[in-house]
Structure 1
């Protein structure tokens, strides 16, 4: 958008030619989102307090969380504003993949906003009914999946790529549509489940986004993709700019969400960021790598599934509380220790995911 105006002036001022480079705009995108977050966050936090958009704490949760009652929630609005503004400045909306990932981000954000509104304003602890919430997520992901499947510019629109093996490509045919829906919706809800203690989810999102910057840029660069034996997908390099915006917004929000949190992002933040990560994975054909990069999100989700199944089948619980980060809290780990150790695990998994590129 704005960068196109500056780039169009390159014939009159040659330094403006630098705006053609994705790496340069990615840096600007990250810095812009970070600065916008720092500027608007204090005002949004005060506004959320003023209108009583504050967190309700579960009675059956860790007792250490009772002190969090009254903390503003729905702070994910800050993240969405920062990313959107940054992309309007430095993103190329003529690129169809930018439009798709922004649709995912804002679409899942709208679902989360509705859910948060019912929980906080209407004082409905369950928020949006599961049938409607999950149904809307499926519908949005289905639209995205069908569009990507029918995209004539994508030579691998129904292919599943297996990490570590350069020639392991599986043609899923029409089954790729429900598979993409599973990845996007699963990623969205996995981040949502992880968002239970200060800074944990947003820190892991930032780590996963850094890994995605490398994955997206390489997949969209013909020479790098050929050298590393990954699928070259023309046009997706522009998504690096989006990753930069998401990283900047995540780091900026972490400043206010770190322990002890001044604001929670709520479903409007967690669902949107998770949906965006899932959509990035589907577009770049790194769906399996996403499960590695976001390994902590996967573990958190599995812990909930195991807990529910165990209780229904045997009447006994496997963990003291699910998701699993609460289990460690109830074991006596201080909240900051749980957060940092999960972050460390997330960094290790992100590095391992990048190793899959070279090991092909």
Structure 2
């Protein structure tokens, strides 16, 4: 279990040290952010800021994740990566590559539009379907696969099962929704990175609690039928450390942006963790700030198409407050506070359900 702390620490250090190298490299190559013309006028000054910083997050995650097991091996501990960890890391990396292509096209064509909608959807489809199919394989000695075909809240809801084909469709929907939700949130310096770090920190606690109450070791209605909770905690800790390290350079005024490379990767990780830990519906609460941002876009588009009127000054939601006169840092900090409240409330629901199931409440 010491590997959780090691993973977070390694990822944090790598992210802090590697990101300035990327800033210099991308600046020399002219890999600067394009700003959409219809966006807030105050953002025009950000044009040319290096982007694709999500590369640093992914590299730090991988080094933190593998480095943790390397240190454990040197210390004589018999721990190794599992199918669950590999699958979530590959999902994160696959979507990060889709985002990288999107960012690269934007830079090369000097515009704010990269991959067209069809190409991006196809990329997410290939990654998502591959993940979904593999997530139902690798059954362990307890009969558990990394993911479950049942819908889940804090545990599987046994009477709501999608079946194999239905799960693949559901999985693709979850991955697409979360990757786009984080992508929408990534519009202000550090907003997505800070919010994601809170979500991953919450999942470190959840996975550790599931490990302590694993059904293979503890019997009773309060135990958790999840595969590889320790490995998932290490993944979450690596992601948290990578995001915090990246924030050192991404906080306002940002020296580098994560771009779609980072936001799609982190969204994929959010989706992957929710499915592997059997907390798909709970993630809606924990990642509530991402849900609000995505819903603001959906509501804005839907209402405008029906009435030709706008609900918000601009969507995603954070731009509404910018145009209302709030300073960018004020919006960021208040949204972080809301993200923290969502994460803590979700963690409270998780714990209270365990109290009820164990009869300790």
CA distance, structure 2, for counterparts of residue 241 and residue 166 of structure 1: 22
Normalising by structure 1, report the TM-score.
0.88
Which residue in 2 is equivalent to 1:279? 272
Distance 1:313 1:234 in 2: 46
| The one of 99, 107, 112 aligned to 1:112 | 99
Q: Report the Cα distance in structure 2 between the residues aligned to 1:279 and 1:125, rounded to whole angstroms.
A: 28
CA gap 1:182/1:167 in 2 versus in 1, 3 angstroms: closer
Question: Given the superposition, is the C-alpha separation of residues 256 and 222 from structure 1 closer, same or farther in structure 2, using an over 3 Å criterion?
Answer: same
Residue equivalent to 1:27: 5
Q: Deviations over 1:70-127 (max 9, x none)?
A: 2111111111111111222114664111110111111011000000000012324310
1:161–1:169 CA contact under 8 A, matched in 2? no
Matching residue of 1:58: 36
Cα-to-partner distance string for 1:229-264 (whole Å, 9 max, x where unaligned): 253324232111111111111000001111111110
Distance, in Å, in 2 between the alignment partners of 1:305 and 1:331 is 20
1:136 corresponds in structure 2 to 123
| 4+ residue runs over 6 A deviation | 165-168
Alpha-carbon distance between aligned partners in 2 of 1:230 and 1:159, rounded to the nearest angstrom: 17
Give the conservation status (yes or no) of the 8 Å contact 1:151–1:157: no
- Structure-2 separation of matches of 1:166 and 1:97: 17
Task: Tell me how far apart the structure 2 counterparts of residues 28 and 334 of structure 1 sit (CA, whole Å).
Answer: 37
Aligned residue number for residue 112 of structure 2 = 125
The reply to whether residue 148 of structure 1 matches residue 135 of structure 2 is yes
Alpha-carbon separation, structure 1, partners of 2:305 and 2:243:
37
Name 1:80's counterpart in structure 2. 58
User: Which of residues 243, 266, 281 in structure 2 aligns to 1:250?
Assistant: 243
In structure 2, distance between residues paired with 1:302 and 1:336: 22
Indicate conservation of the 8 Å contact 1:220/1:234, yes or no.
Answer: no
Looking at structure 2, the residues matched to 264 and 234 of structure 1 have their Cα atoms a distance apart, in angstroms, of 34
Note the residue ranges of structure 1 that are not aligned, 5 or more in a row: 1-21
Aligned to 1:177: 168
1:202-237 C-alpha deviation (Å, 9 max, x unpaired): 000000001111112222333597678253324232
Deviation at 1:139? 1.9
Whole-angstrom distance in 2 between the partners of 1:106 and 1:93 = 20
Alpha-carbon distance between aligned partners in 2 of 1:124 and 1:302, rounded to the nearest angstrom:
26
Which of these residues, 310, 320, 325, is aligned with residue 318 of structure 2?
A: 325
Q: Give the count of matched residue pairs.
A: 337
Do residues 203 (structure 1) and 194 (structure 2) align? yes
Structure 1 residues 31 and 52: alpha-carbon distance in aligned structure 2, compared to 1, 3 A threshold: same
* Alignment partners' CA distance in 2, 1:227 and 1:253: 41
1:189 alignment partner, one of 180, 191, 209:
180
Secondary structure of 1:355's counterpart equals: helix
State the superposition RMSD in angstroms: 2.0
- C-alpha distance in 2, partners of 1:284/1:95? 14
1:41-72 Cα deviation digits (max 9, x unpaired): 11110111111111111211111111111211
TM-score (norm 2): 0.88
Partner of 1:89: 67
Distance 1:144 1:173 in 2: 16
Any unmatched runs of 5+ in structure 2? 70-78, 354-361
> Residue 356 of structure 2 corresponds to which residue in structure 1?
none
Structure 1 residue 36, shift from structure 2 partner: 1.0
